[in-house]
Amino acid sequence: MLTQVELTGIRAAASAQVRDRHRLAARELLTAALFLLPSLLVFTVFLFWPLLRSAVISTYGNDIIGRPTRFTGSHNYQLLLSQPELHEVILNTLLFTLYTVLPALVIGIALALLLQLRVAGIGFFRTLLATPFGFSVATASAVFGIFFNPGVGVLNGFLYPFHIHPVGWLTSPTTALLAVAATTVWLQLGYNVLVLSAGLQAIPEDVYEAARLDGARGLSLLRHVTLPLLTPSLFFLLVVSTIQSLQSFGQIDILTKGGPARSTTTLVYDLYLNAFAFGNSNFGLASAIAMVLFLLVVIVTAIQFGVLERRVFYR
Amino acid sequence: MVRRGISYAALAVITFVLLFPLLYALSGSLMTASEISSFPPPLLPSRPNLRNFADVLRALPLARQYLNSAVVAISVMLGQLLTATLSAYAFAFLRFPFRNFVFALFLATMMIPWEAVIIPNYLFMADNSLVNTYPAFILPFLAAGFGTFLLRQFFLTFPRDLVDAAKVDGCGHLRFLWSILIPLSKPALATLGIYAFLSAWNQYFWPLLMTKSDAMATLQIGIKRLRDVEAATAPNFILAGTVLALIPTLILIYVFQRQIVRGLTTGALRG
Amino acid sequence: MKRLAVLVLLLLLAAACGGGNDQQTSSSGNFDWNSKAPAKPVKITFWHGFSAGANQDAVNALAAKFSDAHKGEIEVTPVYAGDYDTTFAKLKAAIQSGKADQLPSMVQIYDIGTRFMIDSQAITPAQTFIDHEKYSAKDLEPNILGYYQINGKLFSMPWNVSTPLLYFNRDAFSEAGLDPNKPPSTLAELRVAAEKLTKKDASGSTVRYGFGAAIYGWFLEQFTARADQTYCNNGNGRDKSATKVLFNQPVDIKVVDWWANLVKDGLALNTGRQTPDAQNAFKAGKVAMNLESTGTLRGYQAAVKFQLGTAPYPKVESSTTAGGTIIGGASLWVLNKRPAYEQKAAWEFEKFLEQGDSMAYWHTHTGYFPVDKKSLDDPTDKDWVARYPQFKTAIDQLHSTKLDKATQGCLLGVMPATRQAAEVGMETAITGKAPAKKAMDDAAANIQPQIDQYNQATSGS
């Protein structure tokens, strides 16, 4: 039999425990809030709020220094859609993405497979093949710009012994986008090789052995074992490098400035031309372009997740 | 034996092709202007000399631009390490309402192209007279969804018991974070640090808009200006500048490659 | 962290659209002539666009000379603000910030930024100072002042001035059986000469092209003026704000078509829009005739291994008698948000830069055209012209130009973008992507929204 006093004591103790737990939860909440605050602050000030503001500015006309001054509704969008160049610009953007992402993936796989060779000193080659990752868009473009020089460039120098006429890599509308894309592919390769060889190395040996016991060899081993197990890395690279490609700016600015004849003007570059280049400050129109870019990134990423992620083989 | 020979030959050829831009940059930076501008272009300098490097250093405040790049990249790196560690900790070890939603918000930041918000950010910097100052280069990049994601994945590999044990010991969150978690997370932190440093060091569009003087330019903008001025006249000059700008990042990826790769395999790629 | 918090606060204060930015602008009417400097010397900063080299050295030397002569009164600090585009962008950012301490006392802005500067409400027109102190501009070349004048009112002081010329390789002319003393003067003649000058080797590849120039909008503007036509409507934007570009008019189509055909027929080398690429092709002898500014003369003279010839800029039709070339370069602007005493000091410096001996120094050290007529009589200047006899072509060309709306040049708020649009059009035609007419029509259509937007923005909304 518990005495009244004892009962009261237990009750008090129990409720104290509940209070403690509450206090603990409250403290945890406070801690979480404090820990998240710095990141959230940066995101809010420099991403979320500006995204909202971009949307607002895209519905405004601006004064000659770019300051939004008057609400114009969908005017900027109508303007954008009415210009024939928008189609060209979006096409350029998508083509550029296609020309960069896929080759960089395919070549990346080939290089990563090569690096699986079991020979002494392979680590040395692995280190070297990551070299493009150490380049920036500016440094890579500076070097490739010299390769592509129509008069004295190395590329035309290689063609010279074969009596092939000098190609205006960056000055001809048919080759410029490809030349800029080639620069980007090279730039992307270093990272792709790193990620893909890490992915390959993570595949356990016993999986291969089991497959070999089942009679898989060479290409079929590659198709049925290696590639499926590599899909997480491939998918990751696909998503990341697509977003990156859609945002490409530096190589275009340094190599072609969007030319010749607008053949390398992508959405981002068009935004730059309208907002910041040649004395322009058309922030309203440029913000409309920014919104189109944002939508494009969201749509493309969503498609990739919707269509391809199902085929990714997560272990 | 023959197979091994073929392997090495293939590796050598492919490495040479892939490294050609770097090799040519090195070689061209040692050529004279007339040598590099002759046709067909030579691949090796006939008499290597270091004149171009001296000329570049004279023409551009390259030392200052090195400093600018370093200040920006190191600040961004430290900032991201701090903010990402804190937020990843919250997502991995703390319980709070809307945790998944907030985490999704963090991931969503990776889908907002910086270019889509560049105009409001430009206006913000202009409004506050921050154009052409370090804060303009640094502030927007002090936090990153990718870094948070990377560290959270890493933290989640720690057994839950570890945290509970620490709590029983009366270890506060900060102390647990500082004295246990961070020492154990060095590989992931190294990866994030290198990424943050590289991406800040290599930035182009934003510094291009924010730079209004050679003294505040980062190396990347210095390279662009070098090319604008010397594009067709002195490729050797541009290559010398490029080589100088490349040294830190190349060292970084050659020396710390193991850390970069380890970060890629631990967590980041697991669904 | 604290700094960030302050920033966030600032951001929250600023509304989504446009921070309040209603600085007092002193128009010419209420300039405070009695403004006294609180402390001497008055320090003025001068943003210019000359990177390290001969031109920057000349700027610094002149500034030092001026500061010496005004010891204790005025001190000039020249600041290199980046190339023309960067200086322009930098000035815009400073105006955007709405803070006077972000602005220089005076700034050099390229010719095509003129209309923007006038509309920016950020400047004090040169005419304000001229009227106040009855400054006589009679020694200054009227054909140069014309560009910066609207209805006789001068907005800025022309400083570095250049005009376009036809450069040619005299040796190649002789070799091809052409008379180097009779260079082509029209498009048709130029084509005939190009046919003779183009040379192929045994394998059929061209070793020398007759013609080659950068795809530079300025050249099209010059051809238009040479034909005595305006480049934009409303009297080249001088009667009132231009609302349309005219670079798709017949005379311009003719020029673009002519150029495209030269390239198509293998008589001209297309090196794209980069000026140095075209210059190199000419210097290397790969191209026998080239369009360039007078500013390039010294560089060409130093680099070429052949006899360099210059000729007046070609006409479109031989029948045209009026018309001429437009001046290019940049001018000096005084910023009105700076204290009035500082603006007056900046004006003193501008006058100093314009006067005969300064201009002679400027001309002989940079190759830019002297604005003050007396400079050409200066002995050092005479020596210089003797050393570069080709420059005589430019002097004659400028003096023979009759100043009218066409040769004053087009003023357009979005002129930099317009030039860029014209270049896209020219390039589209020259690379064979579209016929000249369609290319230029499209280019005009593309720039139209920008013109409309600019005019809406300045029509006081």
Quick: pLDDT tens for A256-278. 989 788 899 999 999 999 999 88
* Euclidean distance between CA atoms A213 and A225, whole angstroms: 13
Q: Is A68 within 8 Å of A153 (Cβ atoms)?
A: no
pLDDT band at B41 (very low <50, low <70, confident <90, very high): confident
Compare C35 and C6 and report the one with higher pLDDT. C35
Give exposure, B254-266, as e/b (b: 16+ Cβ within 10 Å): eebbebbbebbbb
B202–A137: do the CB atoms touch at under 8 Å? yes
- Residue B96 neighbours by CB distance under 10 Å: 17
C119 to chain A: nearest residue by CA? A64
pLDDT band at A9 (very low <50, low <70, confident <90, very high): low
Indicate the residue type of C327.
Answer: I
Q: What is the mean pLDDT of chain C?
A: 89
How many structural domains are present in chain B? 2
pLDDT of residue B247: 92
pLDDT over 80 at A291, yes or no: yes
pLDDT over 80 at C357, yes or no: yes
In chain A, what residues touch C420 (CB-CB under 8 Å)?
273, 277-278
A280–C280: do the CB atoms touch at under 8 Å? no
Residues C34/C36/C41/C45 CA torsion (nearest 10 deg): -70
pLDDT of residue C54: 82
Q: Does the CB of C1 have a partner CB in chain B at under 8 Å?
A: no
- Do B40 and B157 have their domain in common? no
- Do B264 and B175 have their domain in common? yes
User: Which tokens is C335 given?
Assistant: 């910023």
pLDDT band at B260 (very low <50, low <70, confident <90, very high): confident
In chain B, what residues touch A38 (CB-CB under 8 Å)?
82-83, 86-87, 142-143
Q: What is the mean pLDDT of chain B?
A: 87
CATH number at C37-155+328-400: 3.40.190.10
Q: Does the CB of C116 have a partner CB in chain A at under 8 Å?
A: yes
Intra-chain end-to-end CA distance of chain C, in Å: 40
Q: 3-class SS at C153?
A: strand
- Do B89 and B183 have their domain in common? yes
* Euclidean distance between CA atoms C355 and C351, whole angstroms: 6
User: Domain spanning A78-311: which superfamily?
Assistant: MetI-like (1.10.3720.10)
Residue B162 lies in a domain: yes
- Do B9 and B95 have their domain in common? no
- Do B160 and B211 have their domain in common? yes
pLDDT of residue B184: 87
Compare C203 and B205 and report the one with higher pLDDT. B205
- Do B76 and B39 have their domain in common? no
- Do B42 and B157 have their domain in common? no
Residue B214 lies in a domain: yes
In chain B, what residues touch C90 (CB-CB under 8 Å)?
132, 212-213
Indicate the residue type of A112.
Answer: A
**% of chain C surpassing 70 pLDDT:** 93
pLDDT of residue A207: 85
C310-346: per-residue pLDDT in tens? Answer: 999 999 998 888 889 999 999 999 999 999 999 999 9
The CATH code of the domain that includes B231 is: 1.10.3720.10
Return the CATH number of C164-325+412-458, one of 1.20.1300.10, 3.40.190.10, 3.40.50.360, 3.40.50.2020.
Answer: 3.40.190.10
pLDDT of residue C288: 96
The H-or-E segment that residue C168 falls in is: strand C164-169
Compare C14 and A237 and report the one with higher pLDDT. A237
pLDDT band at C8 (very low <50, low <70, confident <90, very high): very low
Residue B151 lies in a domain: yes
Residue B57 lies in a domain: no
* Euclidean distance between CA atoms A154 and A162, whole angstroms: 14
Nearest CB neighbour to B232, from listed C89, C102, C280: C280
Q: Does the CB of B267 have a partner CB in chain A at under 8 Å?
A: no
In chain A, what residues touch C431 (CB-CB under 8 Å)?
171-173, 260-261
pLDDT of residue A5: 59
Q: Does the CB of A247 have a partner CB in chain C at under 8 Å?
A: no
Q: Does the CB of A34 have a partner CB in chain C at under 8 Å?
A: no
B116–A161: do the CB atoms touch at under 8 Å? no
- Do B103 and B212 have their domain in common? yes
In chain B, what residues touch A33 (CB-CB under 8 Å)?
96
Best to test chain A binding among B8, B103, B117 (most A CBs inside 10 Å): B117
- Do B108 and B6 have their domain in common? no
pLDDT of residue C349: 96
Intra-chain end-to-end CA distance of chain A, in Å: 59
Interface of B with A in 35-54 (CB under 8 A): 36-41, 43
C19 to chain B: nearest residue by CA? B127
A17-75: per-residue pLDDT in tens? Answer: 666 667 667 888 888 999 999 999 999 999 999 999 999 999 998 888 888 888 998 99
* Euclidean distance between CA atoms B208 and B206, whole angstroms: 5
B68-126: per-residue pLDDT in tens? Answer: 999 999 999 999 999 999 999 999 988 888 999 999 999 999 889 999 999 999 999 98
> Domain range for residue B38?
1-49
**% of chain B surpassing 70 pLDDT:** 92
Chains that touch B (3 or more CB pairs under 8 A): A, C
Q: Is C304 within 8 Å of C178 (Cβ atoms)?
A: no
pLDDT of residue C22: 37
- Do B19 and B140 have their domain in common? no
Q: 3-class SS at B168?
A: helix
Shortest alpha-carbon distance between residue A45 and chain C (Å) = 7
- Sequence spans of domains, chain A: 4-57, 78-311
Nearest CB neighbour to C276, from listed B59, B124, B231: B231
- Do B21 and B144 have their domain in common? no
Nearest CB neighbour to C86, from listed B123, B124, B212: B212
Shortest alpha-carbon distance between residue A83 and chain C (Å) = 7
Q: Which of C233, C305, C249 is nearest to C451 (CA)?
A: C233
The contacts found for C143-148 with CB under 8 angstroms, 24 or more apart, are C143/C324, C143/C327, C143/C398, C143/C399, C143/C401, C143/C403, C143/C407, C144/C327, C144/C369, C144/C371, C144/C398, C146/C327, C146/C403, C146/C407, C146/C408, C147/C111, C147/C114, C147/C326, C147/C327, C147/C408, C147/C409, C148/C114, C148/C331
Q: Rounded to 5 degrees, what angle do the CA atoms A93, B203, B111 make?
A: 50
Dihedral sign, Cα of residue C158, residue C160, residue C163, residue C164: negative
A51 to chain C: nearest residue by CA? C16
pLDDT of residue B266: 55
Nearest CB neighbour to C457, from listed A49, A61, A171: A61
Chains that touch A (3 or more CB pairs under 8 A): B, C
Matching fold, domains C37-155+328-400 and C164-325+412-458 = yes
Of A146-155, B141-150, C3-12, C315-324, give the lowest mean pLDDT range: C3-12
pLDDT of residue C21: 38
- Do B118 and B34 have their domain in common? no
- Sequence spans of domains, chain C: 37-155+328-400, 164-325+412-458
